Amino acid sequence: MFGLSLPTVPFLPFLSGRSSSVENEPLVLDHDSVEEIGRELDALREQTLASLGDEDREYLYRIIRAQRGFEIAGRGLLFVGFLPPAWVAGVAALSVSKILDNMEIGHNVMHGQYDWMREPSLNSRVFEWDTACPSDQWRHSHNYVHHTYTNILGQDRDIGYGILRMDPAQKWHPYYLGNPVYATALMLLFEWGVMMHDAEVDRIVAGKRSWRDVIPIAKGWWRKARRQVIKDYIAFPLLSGPMFFPTLLGNATANLVRNVWAYSIIFCGHFPSGVQSFTEEETAEETRGEWYVRQMLGSANITGSPLFHIMSGNLSHQIEHHLFPDLPAHRYPELAPKVRELCEKHGLPYNTGGFTAQVTSVWKKIFTLALPPGWFAPEPESRVIIERHRSTDRPLDDAGTLADDTIEGVEHGGKIRA
């Protein structure tokens, strides 16, 4: 009627049915290169472990002192919260305290990064943090499940946290039309979402797990969440007397700030454009080198200032964290150039970018994957094909090398997905 033919509109591929994606030539990473990467990263890890000492110990103590100072300042300022500048400053200080406690202290200590110090209060098995999730449940869902099966569909429950569609390989369902709503709710209530992660509610809804299995986990929630609620929403507001409601609001705001910040950093490290996912079949019986390569392809970094890295718990170096989760995170900035050089040497992508670019990419994915397949134009695709192992029981060719058909190639993740 308007003289406009939809198939000719290049910027509406979801209406025209045409795709603007261009498939790039795949990178083929041979078996020897994979194992060389493994040996080099093992050596880098051992060198760093051997160099740990007083500087690392003092760094952690400085961060702990800073965290406690911000908490004391924040709670003190909220006692005079009838002055708007004092209330704002109190919320800001308490927010920084909670972020440092969760990200640069709690997350890293519970990874065992400082167990070598033999400091009982900083032992990974007993440390408790200022958030609703019990530390023992977090160590299972994060340290074990996520870091062992990083980005393996069907095994890594951090892909979508059981409620989101964050990868095109996840089968679309009308439920996912609410992707942006669920993501926003998870962001605002992140500490509670993390708390419930081990319950695997999606499996309960699907009939694959019984509610009875959740009872022991729920007991842990009750013990930990009760303390958190009493501390932030009853005890400190009551101590502030007539400032009860401003203090209550200030504590809730600080928790909200922490939730939004932690969610954003974590999602930017796992779900921006270019991060790759994998299947159980292609990761079966991985070698050490193949595990390292999967960690590099399945993670992303965020560029920023030294202060930005501290406030992110150095999870802005998510690639290095997934390679070396038990090394002190403040060492990641010095390891990052070496890891990047190794990636460049072997032609592997090293996914990094500014915070704005990465978080925009994440939210674009959240909105895009809410729609049925075919309603959006896929990003240009790249592939990394890994030759996983050689069969030595087949004859050599005339040149004295293994024939081409004796190498088993596995396309890791198939696509580096948007």
Distance CA 255, CA 258 (A): 5
**Rounded mean pLDDT of 6-19?**
33
Helix (H) or strand (E) holding 28: strand 27-29
**Residue 304: per-residue pLDDT:** 96
- Looking at the domain assignment, is residue 20 inside a domain? no
- Looking at the domain assignment, is residue 19 inside a domain? no
- 334-382 pLDDT per residue, tens: 999 999 999 999 999 999 999 999 999 999 999 999 999 888 776 766 6
**Residue 130: per-residue pLDDT:** 96
Give me the torsion for CA of 72, 74, 76, 78, rounded to 10°. Answer: -160
**Rounded mean pLDDT of 96-123?**
97
pLDDT at 191 exceeding the cut of 70 = yes
Domain that holds residue 61: 27-386
pLDDT band at 200 (very low <50, low <70, confident <90, very high): confident
The dihedral region occupied by 292, where left means phi > 0, alpha psi between -120 and 50, and beta the remainder, is: alpha
**Residue 58: per-residue pLDDT:** 98
Q: What is the CA radius of gyration of the chain?
A: 24
pLDDT at 275 exceeding the cut of 50 = yes
Residue from 118, 183, 135 nearest 359 by CA: 183
Distance CA 11, CA 377 (A): 9
- Phi, psi (rounded to 5 degrees) for 88: -65, -45
Structure pTM? 0.86
**Rounded mean pLDDT of 171-197?**
96
pLDDT at 86 exceeding the cut of 70 = yes
Residue from 342, 350, 337, 336 nearest 382 by CA: 350
pLDDT at 154 exceeding the cut of 70 = yes
pLDDT at 394 exceeding the cut of 60 = no
- Looking at the domain assignment, is residue 408 inside a domain? no
- Structural domain tally of the chain? 1
- Looking at the domain assignment, is residue 411 inside a domain? no
Percent of the chain with pLDDT over 90: 72
**Residue 116: per-residue pLDDT:** 97
**Rounded mean pLDDT of 303-307?**
97
Stronger pLDDT, 406 or 349, i.e. the higher one: 349
- Looking at the domain assignment, is residue 418 inside a domain? no
**Residue 385: per-residue pLDDT:** 75
- Looking at the domain assignment, is residue 260 inside a domain? yes
- Looking at the domain assignment, is residue 401 inside a domain? no
- Looking at the domain assignment, is residue 416 inside a domain? no
pLDDT band at 410 (very low <50, low <70, confident <90, very high): very low
**Rounded mean pLDDT of 316-344?**
97
pLDDT at 230 exceeding the cut of 50 = yes
